Structure 1
Amino acid sequence: MESHQSSTTNAVGLCLLPSELIQYILLCLPLPDVYRFKSVSKSIALLISDQDFVRDYNLQSSSATWLFIYKKRWKRDAVLHGFTDCSNRWFKFLIADTLKEMIPRCEDLYFLTASGDHFLFALNTSQEVILVNPVLKTIKRIPPSPLGPRCTSSWRRSGMKLLSGPPGVGHFRFLFAEMNEDFPVLFEYSSITDKWHSTVARENFGVLQRCNGREGDPSFLSIFNGRNESVLIATGSQGETPVVVRPRFHGGGNDEGQSAVGFGWGNAINRLQVYGDGNMVIARSESVDVAKSNTKLLKSLELWSLSSDGRRWEFISNVPSELIDQIKKPHGVMMGCLEESKGTVRVVLMSNFESVWDIIWLCYGRGEREWTWVPVPDCKMKGSNLAGITFSSGLTLS
């Protein structure tokens, strides 16, 4: 974060500009900076509170992509950090004061996912789920799911989805998929009714209506992901019957060592598979001959997507070797997060080497068929534990 003196100087200079230019500048700022400028002057505060400005800002911020991570040293020494692709620094979201009024000090929180202004956390001790709005500083307890209390290890990132309603409305849907009594089931919570609804998914016998991550696509929630096969649920709008898809994978049977799904740790793990939104990224690594160290280097990254009938994983693209050479660093532990929206696939790989975390953010544009690298500044995570990571849409003014 910038120093207070630097922020004050910049703010005073901003007030001297024409109002149209001030509005243009504010529309380009991330939400934390917009709130900071509210305290600069009465005229800027009135501009930010104007309903026309709020509408324009929310429309523009909806296209911004945020990466959020939740890190902690101890149970109560935890901070939510956010980085957006339209900025060059991390923002700190102070939620501790919001949480302490409802959450016991002995509770252990894990960050599950986010959408817009909604942030979902799992409580490991009480096995509850809560929704936090860091902008409004509110907390909502989610009623227990039909499957009962769940510890944090029961939640799979690729098997759940948080869907926010229109900006300013405050409604949301939380979905997750599980096998229940040998049947694939979609569980859905609606904030409107404050109730859960469960639906047994039907088998897929047709063509999946998919538009490559654009509006109207079904949401894909993973139930099981193995080395060569997966089971997912595809669900559309509320009220539609979800569909089971069972894609097979025939592209990686010759790897040496073992593979890991979502999280790779150990000398034998040379292939990491990361899933999200009907896509799969395979990160292949190679061991580095360092004495008494499980050290590896990233060798390649592949993007695969569901076929139109949902019966197989289809190869889409390799990350160019020139880009791999720029981003690869030694690692012992690696995990990933993957999402797709509006025709762009985004993947983040977090690796750890000797207590130092490194973050790689890559994007693949389906229309351009090109990979881009989003450089991420150091998040100062040395000595901290990672307690959750996710992509999210833009935050909104209220």
Structure 2
Amino acid sequence: MVNNTPVLFEYQSDTDAWQSSEAVLANGPAAPAGPDGDGTYLCAAHAGPDCVMVYSGPGVDRPVFFRPGFPHNPNAGGHGDRLHVYGDGSAVVVRSTVIDEPSRTRVKLVAGVDLYGLGPEVGGDWQLVSTVPGELIEGFRKPYAVMTGLLAEREGVLRLVLISNCRGAWDLVWLSYDRARGEWRWVPVPDWGGAKGLNMAGIAVSSTFSRLWPPAPTICR
């Protein structure tokens, strides 16, 4: 963001220099995005359910930005305790419920995880793609006080990492969604023994974590 306007910087290898392009506001859903995912979506800024998305690629002459909205349904973003995670043109909404405990710490439990994507036309709203099955959520849900997440897609597989803390103990949840198969996978992470006092800045989450996937992970359609 430069002066509250999205600006896209692209590295040109042939000139060994950066090229900047100021994005323009998309006039509603218009041009179709590039086929086979040729275009690129970036999240320039976000605050809860409100975000500014930038698109660059086939179908537009220059980068465009727009503010997609979530559908109006009980599971959509913007209602109750929700964590919004954005990445690679997708969004995940983690729905949680508050646990009544005699403590000053506000403790919550994950109640649902919804995956949203953008339609074929640039400038449209979020569309519900899939919801993590309840049986998978029961396997990893634990009380937490604060939570953040990372979302990335590679070769048609979305990977979601949720990092949470409860009274000094850290927890890591690793989920993936295969678009072609419509399958969710939960990959149990080795128990850190509570991992109190762990410096989370020392953890790098990347696609190389895929090597940790067991040969027969828990799968749900």
The two structures share one fold, judged by TM-score above 0.5 = yes
* 1:342 corresponding residue in structure 2: 155
Cα deviation code 1:259-284 (max 9, x no counterpart): xxxxxxxxxxx210000011110001
- 1:324-372 per-residue CA deviation (whole Å, 9 max, x = no partner) reads 1111011111000001111111101011112111111111111111111
How far apart in 1 are the matches of 2:169 and 2:49? 32
**1:244 shift after superposition:** 2.1
Change (3 A) 1:347 1:253: closer
Q: Do the aligned partners of 2:115 and 2:128 also contact (CA within 8 Å) in 1?
A: yes
2:9 aligned with 1:187: yes
CA offsets, 1:23-73, max 9 Å, x none?
A: xxxxxxxxxxxxxxxxxxxxxxxxxxxxxxxxxxxxxxxxxxxxxxxxxxx
* Counterpart amino acid of residue 390 in structure 1: V
Alignment of 1:111-150 (within 5 A): none
> Could you list the runs of 5+ residues in structure 1 that have no partner in the other structure?
1-177, 257-269
Deviations 1:207-257 (A, max 9, x none): 11253xxxx5322211222444432112349xx73232331223436723x
Q: Give the Cα separation in 1 of the matches to 2:113 and 2:154.
A: 20
The answer on 1:390 being equivalent to 2:205 is yes
Aligned equivalent of 1:222:
43
Match of residue 207 from structure 1: 32
**1:314 correspondence with 2:135:** no
1:54-108 Cα distance to aligned partner (Å, 9 max, x none): xxxxxxxxxxxxxxxxxxxxxxxxxxxxxxxxxxxxxxxxxxxxxxxxxxxxxxx
Q: Normalising by structure 2, what TM-score?
A: 0.78
* Alignment-derived partner of residue 62 in structure 2: 241
1:144-293 mapped onto 2 (5 Å cutoff): 178=1, 180-189=2-11, 193-204=15-26, 205-211=30-36, 216-236=37-57, 241-251=62-72, 252=76, 255-256=79-80, 270-292=81-103, 293=105
CA pair 273-343 structure 1, distance change in 2 beyond 3 A = same
Partner amino acid, structure 1, of 2:131: N
The answer as to whether partners of 2:6 and 2:23 remain within 8 angstroms in 1 is yes
Q: CA deviation at 1:318?
A: 0.9
Conserved 8 A contact 2:151-2:159: yes
Cα pair distance change 1:194/1:393, threshold 3 Å: farther
For structure 2, which runs of at least 5 residues remain unmatched after alignment? 210-221
TM superposition score normalised by structure 1 = 0.45
Contact residue 361 and residue 373 of structure 1 kept, 8 A: yes
Q: How many Å apart are 1:308 and its aligned residue?
A: 1.5
Residues of 2 paired with 1:382 and 1:315: CA distance?
36
**How many Å separate the matches in 1 of 2:139 and 2:161?**
15
Does the Cα contact within 8 Å between 1:228 and 1:250 map onto a contact in 2?
A: no
Structure 2 match to 1:373: 186
Q: Alignment length, in residue pairs?
A: 198
Q: Secondary structure of the residue that 2:32 maps to in structure 1?
A: coil
- Following the alignment from structure 1 to structure 2, what is the Cα–Cα distance between the partners of residues 224 and 250? 20
**Deviation at residue 390 of structure 1 after TM alignment:** 3.4
Q: Is the 8 A contact 2:77 2:93 kept in 1?
A: no
Identity in percent: 40
Residues in 2 aligned to 1:308 and 1:392: alpha-carbon distance in whole angstroms? 26
Report the 3-state secondary structure (helix = DSSP H, G, I; strand = E; otherwise coil) of the residue aligned with 1:360: strand
2:214 corresponds to which residue? none
Partners of 1:195 and 1:279 in 2: how far apart?
29
Aligned to 2:212: none
Query: Quick one: structure 1 residues 332 and 229, their matched pair in 2 at CA, closer, same or farther if it must change by over 3 Å?
Result: closer
Q: 2:139 & 2:77 partners in 1: Cα distance?
A: 28
How far apart are the structure 2 equivalents of 1:281 and 1:368? Answer: 19
Query: Which amino acid is 1:301 matched to?
Result: V
In 2: Cα distance, 1:203 partner to 1:379 partner: 46
Cα deviation, residue 392, structure 1: 3.1
Conserved? CA contact 1:337–1:389, under 8 Å: no
Indicate if the aligned counterparts of 1:220 and 1:232 stay in contact, CA closer than 8 A: yes
Q: Conserved in 2, the CA contact under 8 Å of 1:229 and 1:248?
A: yes
Query: Which structure is higher in RCO with an 8 Å CA cutoff and minimum separation 6?
Result: 1
> As a proportion of its length, which structure holds more helix?
1
- Report if aligned partners of 2:71, 2:127 keep a CA contact under 8 Å in 1: no
CA separation in 2, counterparts of 1:384 and 1:193?
43
